[in-house]
Amino acid sequence: MAETSRRALRLLSLLTARRSWSRGELAARLEVSERTVRRDIDTLRRLGYPVASLRGPAGGYRLGAGHTLPPLLFDSDQALAVAVALQTAPHTVSGLAEDATRALEALEQIMPTRLRQAVEALRLTRLQNYWEFPAPPIQAVALQVAGGAVHRHEVLIAETLGPGGTRPVPGTAGFSPARRIEPHHLVVWAGRWYLVGFDHADDAWRVHRLDRLHLHAPTGIRFTPRELPGGDVAHLVMTTYDRGDTPAAWECTGSARLDLPAETVARWAPGGSVVEHLDSGHCRLTVGAWSWAGIAGLLATFDTDLTDVQPAELVAACHRLAHRFRAAAGTGLPTAGTRP
């Protein structure tokens, strides 16, 4: 009986992991006969789980909607993944801290001892790293509206918010009419949420910072998904320089003109920096850090010529670093156009 119960739980776990299974696949996974699989399916049905039979030469099963799954079905890796997710989600989505804490506590109460101990050992203390560039947590309702529109292929109506999350008044600086967007993807990168979609106002693909959009109520207007340029949403987000990013709050903020295309710099610039397109081979990067030397160091990582460096404090930091590196190298600086 104990072996049958364990096998039934394993069978239930498999049914939740995929939409449908053939009888032969389940038998192979459980290392039993197909006749035993049929008996275990009957056991699950008697326990109230709506397992539907699929027609076909091989036969198969699907777990229906409306079932309630006990968290005891989590294996060690799944339990740890849920624990990490519940502890990190409130840092990117606002309003979830209390609910996530209660969910984690409820999960621990019904876990076997070995899993509970593993989860308790993974209690996270989040520290702010000097080189993190996070955005303010996104509102959960905005995430639900945007995510629902992406899932249902529904057109979104959105307005671009001004500084501090305010909605600019028509006729004032910074105001732009509401946009019609075909949302295709929600992406999290560098602690920021982005909405990727086809923007009717620009008749082009755009990447929008989700926390800088005021989303209207769902429209119910469906659209046919378009083919994503290049087919790689991560590459599109990381190489788009006009994502609506604003400089993160730092003690020091500076900028420079780089002899590189904007899309190249946007790919490697830290989150919270701003890349401005100047021409096909040049852009301006605005970035913050805890010191002027820190900004100079970030600019140096692009290994290209820098001009129009601002402000004067950043120029002075560049001179200090040049002097230090010259002393560290024990030789003079190479002349322009030569390599050391």
Q: What is the total residue count of the chain?
A: 340
179, β-bridge pairs: 158
Q: Which two tokens stand for residue 225?
A: 């998904």
Report if residue 13 sits inside a domain: yes
Instruction: Tell me: do 256 and 307 sit in the same domain.
Output: yes
Report if residue 129 sits inside a domain: no
Q: Which residues in the chain come in under a pLDDT of 50?
A: 69, 71-72, 125-132, 338-340
Q: What is the CATH number of the domain that holds 296?
A: 3.30.70.250
Report if residue 130 sits inside a domain: no
In the prediction, which pLDDT does 224 show?
95
Instruction: Tell me: do 155 and 218 sit in the same domain.
Output: yes
Report if residue 165 sits inside a domain: yes
212 by DSSP, 3-state: which?
Answer: helix
Instruction: Tell me: do 324 and 267 sit in the same domain.
Output: yes
Report if residue 69 sits inside a domain: no
CA 167 vs CA 164, 211, 221, 326: distances in Å: 9, 12, 24, 51
Instruction: Tell me: do 304 and 265 sit in the same domain.
Output: yes
What is the C-alpha separation between 194 and 217, in angstroms, rounded? 19
Q: Residue with structure tokens 């091989």?
A: 58
Per DSSP, the residues of 9-70 read HHHHHHHHHSS-EEHHHHHHHHTS-HHHHHHHHHHHHHTT--EEEE-SSS-EEEEPTT----
Instruction: Tell me: do 144 and 208 sit in the same domain.
Output: yes
In the prediction, which pLDDT does 130 show?
42
In the prediction, which pLDDT does 312 show?
96
Report if residue 244 sits inside a domain: no
Q: Nearest Cα to 138, choosing from 130, 150, 147, 125? A: 147
Q: What is the CATH number of the domain that holds 10?
A: 1.10.10.10
Instruction: Tell me: do 221 and 293 sit in the same domain.
Output: no
Q: Which domain holds residue 227?
A: 138-239
CB 196 within 8 A of CB 233: yes
In the prediction, which pLDDT does 334 show?
56
Among 40, 63, 86, the domain boundary falls at 63
Instruction: Tell me: do 203 and 235 sit in the same domain.
Output: yes
Report if residue 246 sits inside a domain: no
Instruction: Tell me: do 153 and 195 sit in the same domain.
Output: yes
Number of domains in the chain: 4
Instruction: Tell me: do 79 and 59 sit in the same domain.
Output: no
Give, rounded to a whole angstrom, the gap between the first and last alpha carbons of the chain: 76
Instruction: Tell me: do 147 and 214 sit in the same domain.
Output: yes
Instruction: Tell me: do 257 and 324 sit in the same domain.
Output: yes
Report if residue 110 sits inside a domain: yes
In the prediction, which pLDDT does 105 show?
75
Among 63, 83, 110, the domain boundary falls at 63
